[in-house]
Amino acid sequence: MKKIIGVIFCLAFLAASFPALAADLNVEAVKANKVPASYATVKDGKVVFGGIPTAYSPDATDAILKAYGGTFQKDAKVPASYATVKDGAPVFGKNPIAYSPDVLHQIITAYGFSTTPQAIAKIVDPVSYAAVKEGKIVFGKPGIAYSPDSFDRIMEAYSLPVVKPAPAPAPSPPPPPPPVVKAPSKKPTWVFKDIKFDFDKATLRPESKPILDGIYEALRDNPELKVEIQGHTCWIGTDAYNMGLSQRRANTVMKYLNAKGIAASRMTAKGFGESQPIDTNKTKEGRANNRRVELKPMQ
């Protein structure tokens, strides 16, 4: 019993470390046609990004960055081809321009966004945007037109400052607690949102392996424990595709643990697609929470 309790605490600690993603395309702005239709549309309640590399005009880029929650700062330094200030108001260019990544970063930060080397290092695609060398961000130089889905992945590395709300008034004293009723024991399902895969694939990312190694050690130390490995996705994509993707990712986790030494007879893998969300699918953070792997004890 002590070992089972130990594995619960071990797995719960591993599952609690998923970082938040701040830059998020506002779904309502897309529905209201505040961004170009070639950039993103909403179909069946889901955001669908364009896949064709497109050089947008500065005024269109302004609309896109505003839809991510940014506000253009008139005193920011941006190329004159992007925007100038006349009579105290910004005037944005009308001609499509494919800016280089270093200039694009300058434009993005003019809307209040910021990033870190750690966040940039997580950008897998497009690799042409930036790299981290000796702890510093090195942006690409050639001008390039990114596809909308690639630009959205770039924006995942950026965030806006957190505005702390005013403290709430002190609550009234709580009522006396009800009598304690001991609930029957129930084995929990452990949720892992930091097990990462390559984009749109079932290939494990390197940063996922320490987490899986921790799960392996917990299962190794509890040989009587059997688990169902459950794969889940967000709602981006068709139901059938997401069901297959979640099954392949659950299979990948099971194969990894089996290769480490956990008997296949102790594990089953099952994909649930987008059918069991634990958060809203209307925000980037919510969709990230829904892309997860769960382990359900079977005995």
Using only the alpha carbons of the chain, give its radius of gyration: 23
The per-residue pLDDT of the chain, averaged, comes to: 85
pLDDT reported for residue 84: 94
How buried is 277 (Cβ within 10 angstroms: 0-12 exposed, 13-18 middle, 19+ buried)?
middle
- CA-CA-CA-CA dihedral for 268, 274, 275, 281, to nearest 10: 140
pLDDT reported for residue 187: 57
Q: Which residue has the tokens 């750690």?
A: 118
Beta bridge partners of 139: 130
Least confident segment among 188-202, 225-239, 282-296: 188-202
Q: State the pLDDT confidence band at 57, using cuts at 50, 70 and 90.
A: very high
| Listed residue (11, 27, 37, 53) closest to 214, CA to CA | 11
How far the first Cα of the chain sits from its last, in Å, is 12
Q: Over range 17-40, report the average pLDDT.
A: 80
Alpha-carbon dihedral sign for residues 140, 144, 149, 155: positive
| Cβ atoms 208, 195 nearer than 8 A | yes
Amino acid at residue number 38: S
For residue 109, pLDDT over 50 is answered with: yes
Q: Residue 132 has which token pair?
A: 């981290």
What is the residue extent of each domain of the chain? Answer: 27-155, 188-297
β-pairing verdict for 227-232 and 267-271? parallel
Q: State the pLDDT confidence band at 19, using cuts at 50, 70 and 90.
A: very low
Class of domain 188-297: alpha beta
For residue 207, pLDDT over 50 is answered with: yes
The string of pLDDT tens digits covering residues 261-294 is 999 999 999 999 999 998 998 998 888 888 888 8
The string of pLDDT tens digits covering residues 66-80 is 999 999 998 999 999
Q: Look at the pTM and tell me if it is higher than 0.75.
A: no
- Residues contacting 221, CB < 8 A, separation 6+: 3, 6, 7
Q: Which of 7-16, 114-123, 184-193 has the highest mean pLDDT?
A: 114-123
